[in-house]
Amino acid sequence: MKLPGHDAIARQADEHLVTHKVKLPRKVVEHPFRQVAKRVLMALLVLTATALIVYLDRDGYNDNSDRSVDFLDSWYYATVTLSTTGYGDITPVSDAARLTNIFVITPLRVLFLIILVGTTLEVLTERTREAWRLDRWRSTLRDHTVVIGFGTKGRSAIQTVCATGLKKEQVVVVDPSGKAIEAATAEGYAGVIGDATRSEVLKRAEVHRARKIIIATQRDDTAVLVTLTARQLNKAAKIVAAVREEENAPLLKQSGADAVITSASAAGRLLGLSVLSPAAGMVMEDLIHQGSGLDIVERPVIKAEVGLTARQTDDLVVSVLRGHRVLGYDDPAVGTLELTDRLITIVRVSPGAQVAPDARPLPPMPSS
């Protein structure tokens, strides 16, 4: 097993601990109208306190109009002072004029200030709206597919499952690279930035509610840690992992992966097959590209096929899945098909014609 020492893994985890960032909100932002109402109330309290202070110390103030300061004058002074109006050559001297300044001119000044800070209010509103959308989306997210790693392998895996009918709203991508997550969200997938070996990052992706987990990390040791963490959070999900070295595949299975794909060996076998028979290589290439041409499809046995042999079905059956056993189409143990069997078949499809039989629609993902 070519895994680095525990010290190296610990250092890597510490680095991600410092830099990890999750785009999904940690808490719900307060509604902007409530924030504005609080600030207006605070402004009124400050205005009232200022007016009372001026009135209590009215002997220390001088009014150019009548040389005395009453309660109305105190409110007027507080209003023009807090609104940063200041004093000029022309000042209101009558009660009517001062009432107009208090109830008309000052609200207009406040309105002007609100217009100036409109950008801030807009940002608060947008943050609240986005937080509400994300919170609602996460609360309704069920039976989705989580993809760990948005490199070449992860991107190809998503394209393959989406070609069978899985909607983009049912996919959540986890990657430590912010640029990778930006690319994923640009293609219509939800994204979480962070180290997938940490349980809190996987929880942000709602791994505990996922139906399928695809692990396509760059390193085999990272794939092992992610598999262990994902399996601990979700005992029922189907986990498929990719490794570079074939000797690491057994460890992935021991860690909880249902299926392990050796990327280097698979590519090498396809290269060797193409050398021996270019036509056979083209057929295999067609089979692994879902959505057009020839596809490998797993489907349940229908009632009309019960009691038939694998060769008597309309589709080209490659294998029969019975319980936890995968039997070849010519295996004597298959006998006749049963209603609980599942068939691995080769079919010819056109783009958009194939729909995954177990895909369930989910609420739309909020736009970023």
User: For residue 222, what pLDDT is reported?
Assistant: 92
User: For residue 49, what pLDDT is reported?
Assistant: 80
User: For residue 257, what pLDDT is reported?
Assistant: 92
User: For residue 233, what pLDDT is reported?
Assistant: 93
Can you give the pLDDT of all 368 residues of the chain as single tens digits?
Answer: 444 444 444 444 444 443 444 443 234 445 556 666 676 677 777 777 877 776 776 676 667 766 677 788 778 767 776 666 765 433 545 575 567 667 765 665 676 566 556 656 666 666 677 677 777 777 778 889 999 999 888 888 888 888 777 888 889 999 998 889 888 888 888 889 999 999 989 988 889 999 999 999 989 999 999 999 999 999 999 999 988 888 888 998 999 999 888 877 777 777 777 777 888 778 777 776 666 677 777 889 888 888 888 888 888 888 888 888 888 888 888 888 888 888 988 887 765 454 444 443 334 444 43
What distance, in Å, lies between the first and last C-alpha atoms of the chain?
A: 41
User: For residue 13, what pLDDT is reported?
Assistant: 44
User: For residue 362, what pLDDT is reported?
Assistant: 38
User: For residue 229, what pLDDT is reported?
Assistant: 93
User: For residue 145, what pLDDT is reported?
Assistant: 92
